[in-house]
Amino acid sequence: MSKRVAVVVFPGSNCDADTLAAARAAGSDAYYVWHRDTDLRQADVVILPGGFSYGDYLRSGAIARFSPVMRAVEAHALGGGPVLGICNGFQILCEAGLLSGGLMRNARLKFLSRPVRVRVEATDTPFTCLSTTGEELVLPIAHGDGRYVADAHTAAELEADARVVWRYVGDNPNGSTNDIAGICSVARNVVGIMPHPERRNEALLGGPDGARVFQSMEAGHATQHAGALRAVGGRHDGM
């Protein structure tokens, strides 16, 4: 049975259609949920897509995090349900306090839109369970506020708990702390990624690498149904 995937649409989201298409290409039963909705309609997974919700006013993600739908997203996350935030979605998850740290203006100020290399550092999340540790992916970035920052204590915790999920390889495009491109929550079910896996999920779009994220998401379902409850790699996500 396909996984039910809610793609949340905020005013200013612009990667919602690509995200929906990428989830469907991986076999998921994906559908949109409007930011004013309060019901995720029995979602197995929630994805907050990229874009510029509320025009990035005040701070990226700062206003979107108070959208009515976010109460349901928070309840889903706290119940152990998988949540993926891509780019602006990552910013919203940080603003909501579902992920540690924050995202600030790129170190060299420029808006960056180009492919980058990232390395998969943690495979015990719902969005990387089909990857192998150390696997390198080419994924596009498209952000102005992509510099992940965390204080020294938080950064040390992320490293100690292996909560850095993806790391830039070779070139750190935005000056992020410890070359971080994506992280997960303590329970490992909430994941944020700055690059856009949905924009590179087939040969026509430059390569298939991003599809791994959505295929992992869909495969996680099967694992659950087999009773293994995401105890991938000897870890349990605390559901």
Active site residue ranges: 87, 196, 198
- Taking CB under 8 A as the rule, does residue 7 contact other proteins? no
Report the distance separating Cα 208 and Cα 142, nearest Å: 18
Q: Could you tell me how many helices (H) and strands (E) the chain has, helices first?
A: 5, 11
Report the distance separating Cα 231 and Cα 154, nearest Å: 25
Using CB under 8 A as the binding rule, the residues of this chain from 189 to 228 that contact other proteins are none
Using CB under 8 A as the binding rule, the residues of this chain from 74 to 103 that contact other proteins are 94-95, 101-102
Q: How far is the CB of 109 from other proteins (least distance, A)?
A: 5
- Taking CB under 8 A as the rule, does residue 239 contact other proteins? no
Backbone angles phi, psi at 8, to 5 degrees: -80, 130
- Taking CB under 8 A as the rule, does residue 140 contact other proteins? no
Asked if 218 and 126 touch (Cβ cutoff 8 Å), the reply is: no
- Taking CB under 8 A as the rule, does residue 147 contact other proteins? yes
Using CB under 8 A as the binding rule, the residues of this chain from 107 to 136 that contact other proteins are 107-109
Using CB under 8 A as the binding rule, the residues of this chain from 166 to 185 that contact other proteins are 175
Residues in the interface with other proteins (CB under 8 A) total 20
Question: Any residues with CB less than 8 A from the CB of 53 and at least 6 apart, and which?
Answer: 10, 11, 12, 13, 35, 60, 61, 63, 64, 88, 92
Binder among 36, 41, 58, 133 for other proteins (CB under 8 A): 58
Identify the CA nearest to 219 among candidates 26, 50, 86. 26
- Taking CB under 8 A as the rule, does residue 62 contact other proteins? yes
- Name the residues that contact other proteins, by CB under 8 A: 58-59, 62-63, 66, 94-95, 101-102, 104-109, 147, 149-151, 175
